[in-house]
A and B are shown apart, each in its own frame.
Chain A
Amino acid sequence: MNPYIPVLIVLIFGLTLGAILSGLSTFLGPRNPSPEKSDPYECGVPKVTNANEKMSVKFYLTAILFILFDIETIFLYLWAKAFPNLGWFGVAEIMVFMVILVAGYIYVVKRGALEWD
């Protein structure tokens, strides 16, 4: 059997299970909507504005840096799998890779992209 058939089965059943669980109270619970009840919670004070406001640019920066470093991690996995066949050549290769990666990392740190205040 193709090893990815179970993935499909679990995906379908998992999504269904999640949908059923989170939908249970829609069918079982009472339903008495009122304007006060559906007001977004702001510690009892009527809400002033909608929540979709500006957010700190730091979060975007973190997301972009995450993508860069996560791809490096995936590269390292492939290298780690091939390591027994590469021998010392693999070690030399990863040293070159690391030098480039660390140079970028030091640049990011020096520019203060990771400082939160």
Chain B
Amino acid sequence: MGLTENEFTVQFIATLIKFAIMAGILLQLPPVMVWAERRIPGMMQRRKGPNRVGIFKFRLYGIVQPLADTIKLIMKEEVVPEGAQKAFYHLAPIFSVFPAFLIAMAIPYGPDIKAFGFTVPLSVIRVDVGFLFIFAVSSLAVYGVTIAGWASNNKYALLGSLRASAQMISYEIPLGMSLIPIVLIYGTLDLNKIVEAQNHVWLWGVFLSPISFVLFLISMFAETNRSPFDLAEAEGELVAGFHTEYTSAKFAAFFLGEYVSMFVLSCLASTVFFGGWQVPFIDILKIDDAVGFTGVAALIGFLSLLLKAGFFMWVYVWVRWTVPRFRYDQLMKLGWHYMIPLGLINVVLTAVILAAVRF
């Protein structure tokens, strides 16, 4: 009895520490991404982008610019539009932030740390139905957008939120379908087991199920309302879409939600299709014994995942400045007429091939 209580205490404290670290990283994400999203297009378009703001004489390529922006946003006045549904208006930013945080905690960031007889998993939430948990929670993100547009008493906001919610729910189906072949191939819903199964480059999801990867990549952009599917906030038509009436820190909260969910989907794509915390051609689970120090493998795994996720974040920016925006009917046609049938065909095809190989 004493031992299990001890185990409980250790796991509980470990959970709190892991949550604090992850929350810290996720909160640093929007400033860095805002900076990247100005510097990268600057490079692409042969201009400089923000490079003036710095600490004293050190400009550091303008990396302090988003920090200045954040402080400015927080210190601004909060304007609630007349006729807004007050309670919902204040709830919407919270609803757009916490689902993204909840999913981010469910992704395995590295191999388990084994120390002092305890096995600490390197993800805050480890449930054996990881996929179902992620889909259940990611559906909640629609509420933030819908409530924000509806409660603002603004026509642009309402139209933007209608578009965004219809788009998000439409692309959730291909997103879900694209991962079914992965479950078929690896035979588990547990994300960590999927990563452990991808211990060789040719066992990565992208090689075993390339159609899934294409479907997932397209749905990823639509789910986060990013260009070329950014109809929810098409600047030319809807001012800013569902967050038109939001100011100051609430406006920043929407950005935090957007960037965190971009990061989460990038992490998920790397976890499922690119081996997560595995390093190509190296057996990461043997590193701890080789170095003789616990935690090295976890650190390397974490960096490996961050690198892969960072690549997808870069793809987000790259695509934004390369591809023009879709029209709404084209967007819906792509989702319902092409991606859902393709997803179904992909599932059946994978099942038949697997059955032919295995049974």
Q: Which residues of A contact B (CB under 8 A)?
A: 1, 3-7, 9-11, 13-15, 17-19, 21-26, 28-33, 35, 37-43, 50-53, 55-56, 58-59, 62-63, 65-66, 69-70, 73-74, 76-77, 80-81, 83-84, 87-88, 90-91, 94-95, 98, 101-102, 105, 109, 114-117
Contact = CB atoms under 8 A, between A and B. Distances in A.
Given A70-B169, A77-B132, A81-B187, 13 more contacts: A3-B128, A6-B105, A9-B19, A10-B102, A11-B98, A14-B97, A17-B98, A21-B97, A26-B78, A29-B76, A31-B77, A62-B332, A81-B183
Contacts of B80: 38
A76 B174 CA distance: 12
8 closest residue pairs by CB, A with B: A25-B248, A116-B329, A18-B94, A25-B249, A22-B93, A18-B97, A73-B176, A14-B98
Contacts of B131: 77
B102 A11 contact: yes
Interface string B44-84: 00000000000000000000000000000111111111110
B268 interface: no
A88 B23 contact: no
Contacts of B124: 6, 9-10
Interface stretch (B32-40, B277-285, B302-310, B349-357): B349-357
B180 A63 contact: no
A41 B157 CA distance: 9
Nearest to B354: A83
| Interface SS of B by simple majority | helix
Given A13-B19, A114-B332, A25 B166 contact: no
Which has the most chain B C-beta neighbours within 10 Å: A28, A43, A95?
A28
Given A6-B125, A9-B19, A77-B183, A41 B239 contact: yes
15 contacts: A6-B124, A10-B102, A18-B93, A18-B97, A24-B249, A25-B250, A28-B75, A31-B78, A52-B153, A70-B172, A70-B173, A74-B132, A74-B135, A76-B347, A91-B352
A3 B125 contact: yes
Contacts of A22: 90, 93-94, 97, 249-250, 253
A64 to B, nearest CB: 10
B101 A24 contact: no
Contact of B127 (A3, A17, A53, A95): A3
Interface in B309-355: 328-329, 332-333, 336-337, 340-341, 344, 347-348, 351-352, 354-355
A74 B135 CA distance: 9
B200 interface: no
B206 interface: no
Contacts of B239: 41, 43
A11 B101 CA distance: 9
A3 B166 CA distance: 33
A1 B94 contact: no
A17 B77 contact: no
Contacts of A73: 173, 176-177, 180
Given A1-B8, A4-B127, A40-B152, A51 B101 contact: no
A57 B124 CA distance: 42
A61 to B, nearest CB: 9
Which has the most chain A C-beta neighbours within 10 Å: B82, B90, B189?
B82
Interface stretch (B9-17, B208-216, B220-228, B287-295): B9-17
B126 to A, nearest CB: 6
Which has the most chain A C-beta neighbours within 10 Å: B78, B165, B187, B248?
B78
